[in-house]
Amino acid sequence: MKNLDPSRARWIRARGVFLGLVLGALGANVIARSWEMQIRQGDGWRETAEKQRQRKLHVEPRRGRIVDRNDRALALTIDVPSVSLDLHDLVAGAMTPEAQAARVHDAAIRLASALALDPVELERRMSAKGRFLWVKHRVSGEEAEAVRHLANPHEEPNPIRGLGVDGEGRRYYPNRELASTLLGFVSPDGQGREGLELFFDQDLRGRAEELSGLRDRGGRLVFTDGTADRARLETEGETIELAIDQSIQFMAERELEAAVRNHEAKGGTVVVVDPSNGDVLAMASFPNYNANDYSSFDPDARRNRAIADRFEPGSVMKVFTFAGAFAAGAVAPGELINCEHGRFRIGGATIHDTHMNDLLSPKEILAKSSNIGSLKVGLRLGAERLYDVLRGFGFGEPTGIPLGGENGGVLHPKGRTWVDLETANAAFGQGIGVTSLQLAMGFAALANGGKLLEPILVRRLVDGRGQTLREWNKHVRREATTPHVARMLSDMLVAVTEPGGTAVDGAIDGYRVAGKTATAQKVDPHTGHYSADRFSASFAGYLPAENPRLVIAVTLDEPLVGHFGGELAAPVFRRVAEQSLRYLGVVPARGPARMDAPMAEAPSVAAGTKPPVAGAAESAANIGVAAASNIGPAADLGPVVPADLSASADPSKGSPNEVVVPEATGLAARDAVRVVLGAGLLPRLQGSGRLVRQEPPAGSSLPRGATVKLVLEPPS
């Protein structure tokens, strides 16, 4: 500066001062502005900054699960890859419409090749207005990998911009056909269709919400502080916990399908109920379908026949007729009723029995399934009281189960006068309509001592955090009958599955089974009269009779191979019950009781048809029982000799002159005598009550006609 011209030096100093003042003013302004923004306007600017850093995301909730009573999944939602495309990112940088169209065309060709799509249709969709496009839903793993390759700039010289492979929820049924008619299905738009998926659609769908998140440099959403997990828990649909037991449901469906196919039936149902609380443990319907691929099946296969189909129940209704008659005192348990030798005229019509009987007790009427005996009891009860009894057991009204499409059945209004013929028909199950679920709940009322329960299909609804939102507990709708009448009927219904009854194929070794068969003619829709070749075969019952754990109702619709309920439906009952009792750990209470010679039961027999003639062994067994009934504890009778031993002997192992001693331990004297006689041996009774020991033991080989000692003791 000293060597400079003074005037030039002054100019430089002036410029320096001026520059310093300008910089100082600018600094002061920055400081003032910063103070203004951060202190005085800080809250507003921070809110603006957050809005710029955050973006709103529309979160689609995951659909809730449907699980069985043991938390095993019956329906759940899984994430499957789907391909999306941001059309703005795809054409970003292309300055002219021609360049943008060329980029869309190139991307459509390459994507269509990777995803097996029509390139022309895909290009048309990509050219439409809008920014977001689902290219393809639910792609395979190979397709997802191919799309990622097309979008990766490190692997593809000309990557397709805007491509995304996102997880998209898909409804999945891990057990395929299991409980499909009960569960229903979900359409591609996420709407529940049929069954539980439809009835609880709003609960299962959850609620869609908009959540805020931070954007990274690439504009991708980043959740912090566990927001993603919290969003999932708070928005996902509720879990439905059913009373259904997956294992029992599987057993019921397997046995039902086998029976429908073997007997070439149109369809069938099996309902399993816990009579103590109304829990529906299984509800099987066949035909059924794979809910994962519902569009490939006929819509008729998606119908839940257990609640949607009503049918004339036939002889199973005799049980409820007698329940009302006993409660009203219209008939005594030991009274003999004239069954008119299998033929009775009423109201211009002739009612027939399959077996020609004369005097029968109520127990025998149920065991032999006499229409005439039942209608006489129904007429004594009267039309109005019979209506009240049937309505009391839940017929003619919905059960209250949380499912759409339930049929309430048919029971003519009380205000309309029933003529005698209608009353007679209703007494043995004609002229009324019921569903399989109604039938099961009616028998559950008998099994639990007379209480008609509301069926429990759903036990509770649970949110994403495991909190119970709603719960279904045992609910008694009404007292259908008295505990005394229910116990009395249980004892009578055991005779149906014992020798001489119509459902010996429903008996189970070690358990006393109470039940009733039905073989009901169906009405021909063309003629309006009962068809001669279209039937529904049913069996409903419960066990163990002394402390029921299970009620099972089985119905086969229009079987072509056979049609008797005791021959078709009772074996299904037995197989489902045997497996279910083992699964539940219910220990047998007594020895084997099942015989292998069923007595078929039918709704009607043409006039003049001769009844089946009982073999000599049956007559001898009755003689033996009559003698045994008068035996004291220390009595020791000689052998009871059948009139024609050869007529009663069944083929057995060993030589033609030898038979194997059958197992009869635990049976009553009458039944033990029948079992031994049926094997071609002579019973020698000692004592009274139930058989506790037999000499020689079961499995031994004896000459035909040899004596077997049966030691009886009174029940403890």
For residue 370, give both structure tokens. Answer: 């006499």
Catalytic residue numbers, as ranges: 315
What burial letters (b/e) apply to 166-202, b meaning 16+ CB within 10 Å?
eebbbbebebebbbbbbbbbbeeebebebbbbbbbbe
Helix, strand and coil percent figures for the chain, each rounded to 5: 40, 25, 40
Cβ-based neighbour number of residue 538 at 10 Å: 32
- Taking the C-alpha atoms of residue 134 and residue 163, their distance in angstroms, rounded to an integer, is 10
124 φψ region: left (φ > 0), alpha (ψ -120 to 50), beta (else)? alpha
Cis, peptide link before residue 544, omega less than 30° from 0: yes
- Taking the C-alpha atoms of residue 683 and residue 624, their distance in angstroms, rounded to an integer, is 9
**Are the CB atoms for 411 and 432 separated by under 8 Å?**
yes
> For the residues of 262-311, what is the DSSP string, one character each?
HTT-SEEEEEEE-TTT-BEEEEEEES---GGGGGGS-GGGG--HHHH--B
Backbone angles phi, psi at 408, to 5 degrees: -80, -5
Instruction: Name residues whose C-beta falls within 8 Å of residue 474's C-beta, 6 or more positions apart in sequence.
Output: 277, 278, 453, 456
- Taking the C-alpha atoms of residue 545 and residue 7, their distance in angstroms, rounded to an integer, is 127
Cis, peptide link before residue 157, omega less than 30° from 0: no
- Taking the C-alpha atoms of residue 515 and residue 672, their distance in angstroms, rounded to an integer, is 21
> For the residues of 53-78, what is the DSSP string, one character each?
HEEEEEEPPPPPPEE-TTS-EEEEEE
Cis, peptide link before residue 362, omega less than 30° from 0: no
- Taking the C-alpha atoms of residue 683 and residue 638, their distance in angstroms, rounded to an integer, is 8
Bridge partners for 536 per DSSP: 520, 557
